[in-house]
Amino acid sequence: MSEVKLDDLVSLTKRRGFIFPGSSVYGGLSGTWDYGPLGVKLKDNFINLWKYFFVDSREDIYMVDAAIIMNKKVWQASGHVDTFNDPLVECKKCHSRFRADKIDLSHCLVCGEKNSFTEPKNFNLMFSTSIGPIGDGVGEVTIDRAELEKILANNKDSKISLKTDNENLVYLRPETAQGIFVNFKNVVDSFYPNIPFGIAQHGKAFRNEISPRDFIFRSREFEQLEIEYFINPEQWQEKFEMWINLIHQWFNLIGLPAGMITDKEIDGADRAHYSKRTVDFEFDFPIGKEELMGLAYRTDFDLRNIEMFSKKSMEYKPKDGSASFVPHVIEPSFGVERFILAILSSAYKQDEINGEKRVYLDLPFKLSPIKAIFGPLVRNKSEIVDLSKKIFKEIKSEITDILWDDSNNIGKRYRRADEIGTPFCITVDFQSLEDNMVTVRDRNTTIQTRVALDKLSDYLKKQF
Ligand code: ATP
């Protein structure tokens, strides 16, 4: 179990400018979060490293960037319209709503009423909206369709008719994967990849979660990094193992301790009906052991459904002249927010330096939003300030993620650097004027080293 409490992380990330509650100035909007200057950097570093590891350093995976709003047939073909549901229950006393499979149904968590819940009903998690001009939006009312049908059934003279198909209806995508499947043929026909090959996508996904909770762990708007790895079905077992292996290499690269990760094989009964094998990778979050990401063998389910709904062939013709076939897929699905939470909670450390307690984030250098904090020891000595500015400009032109901090209290400077996971603090002092050296303090050990100015950039770059 993670050592840090969720509340401590929420508070640190807000105080230091990583993550804020969404729309907080207006009292917030449940299930949404905004990233501040350091959060953006951390997330970008994570995503860029992911793109390097899974796409750019390989020869078999390519990226697409599909529109978030897609033709609603995408979600009919994928099964989301009919089956992307969670079981919803409502307390009959206080009308609070919950996800039935995530709570103890013996009493209401809000009002405490015993055995007060309605029967679970399916609640579709997709957000819907309309495309194109459908009225001026003024004075429109939202009516439950089933209620309206009841009213109309009792009012035979009514001139109101209900459309069976709303042409303007569209959904915000609840996963990025379908944006890959609908572009499968485009990529094959324009790019001619050799099978096996993967198509990756990074972007936002939206789910109208019944009870968003646990900080960014379950949000209504989040980011995914997904890969559909297209294979010949004969190879599925071998390629599935390859992916388990790659995913563990990835955990290691971003510094997640192996002891905090569990590979959970999902039983047939709990697996999505189209999946022949699913492994969930669970992490010891501050809220307990929960799903960090998933790996699924989705067979040819999606491409076959697209064939059925679009009447277009999704066959792949191998370049060696062998028979065409509809590829199968192995899908690793990474949730950015859950990784950010895992990275922050495993990096959060507390210790004591010279009798003083401190908190620091032991972030890997590659992920740290800021690589070094730089400043003069004092602000009132112009030679030191001038020299500092000169060196800062030079270093910043080579390593951009360096922050100027000239607050006079060096202790405060260090505390901030530690809490935002900055590996180095560089200080220019009186001695620097004599010996052309600066003091470099290491975040984890707090050891200070004198480094010559002409070696400073190499000293920092060594860490990349
Ligand atoms: P859960 O069972 O926790 O609801 P899921 O099995 O529905 O998750 P998938 O549909 O497999 O999740 O989505 C793939 C990945 O997307 C998840 O492993 C997770 O990392 C991320 N994810 C899914 N839902 C959310 C959410 N509401 N907030 C943040 N990340 C999410």
DSSP state of 102: G
CA of 92 to the centre of ligand 1 (A): 29
The H-or-E segment that residue 361 falls in is strand 356-361
Structural domains of the chain, ranges and CATH numbers in brackets: 6-74+173-346 (3.30.930.10), 85-122 (no CATH), 370-461 (3.40.50.800)
Name the residue at shortest CA distance from atom 27 of ligand 1.
Answer: 218
Centroid of ligand 1 to alpha carbon of 35 (angstroms): 19
In angstroms, what is the C-alpha Rg of the chain? 27
Per-residue confidence (pLDDT) for residue 140, from 0 to 100: 60
The predicted structure's pLDDT at residue 163:
67
Q: What pLDDT was estimated at residue 133?
A: 78
pLDDT value at residue 46 = 98
The CA 213 to ligand 1 mean position distance, Å, reads 13
**Would you state the structure tokens that stand for residue 127, as one six-digit string?**
């957000």
- Tell me, in angstroms, the distance from the centre of ligand 1 to residue 299's CA: 20
Q: Which atom of ligand 1 is nearest to the CA of 294?
A: 18
**Ligand 1 pocket mutation, candidates 86, 222, 290, criterion most atoms within 8 A of CB:** 222
How many angstroms does the Cα of residue 304 sit away from the middle of ligand 1?
Answer: 24
What residue owns the CA closest to ligand 1's atom 18? 293
Q: Residue 441 has what pLDDT?
A: 96
pLDDT value of residue 166: 77
Cβ atoms 216, 235 nearer than 8 A: no
pLDDT of residue 148: 82
- CA dihedral of 24, 29, 32, 33, whole degrees rounded to 10: 10
Query: Which pTM was predicted?
Result: 0.92
Nearest CA to ligand 1 atom 29: 218
> Could you tell me the mean pLDDT of each successive run of 10 residues in the chain, 464 residues long?
88 98 97 98 98 98 97 96 93 92 89 91 94 67 77 84 78 97 97 96 97 95 98 97 98 97 95 92 97 98 97 95 96 98 97 92 97 95 96 94 91 94 96 96 96 93 80
The neighbouring-strand residues paired with 180 are none
pLDDT of residue 67: 97
**pLDDT number for residue 322:** 94
- Token pair, residue 303, equals 């491409």
Report the Cα–Cα distance between both ends of the chain, in Å, rounded: 30
Query: Rounded distance, CA 60 to CA 312, Å?
Result: 25
Quick one: pLDDT at residue 426?
97
Name the β-bridge partners of 452.
437
* DSSP code string of 207-241: ---SS-BTTTTB-SEEEEEEEEEEE-GGGHHHHHH
CA distances in angstroms from 407 to 34, 378, 380, 404, 413, listed in the order given: 27, 8, 11, 9, 7
Q: Ligand 1 center to residue 23 CA distance, Å?
A: 23
**What residues flank ligand 1, with Cβ below 6 Å?**
207, 209, 218-219, 222, 224, 291, 293-294, 333, 335, 337-338
Which residue's CA is the closest to the ligand 1 atom numbered 20?
335
CB 88 within 8 A of CB 100: yes
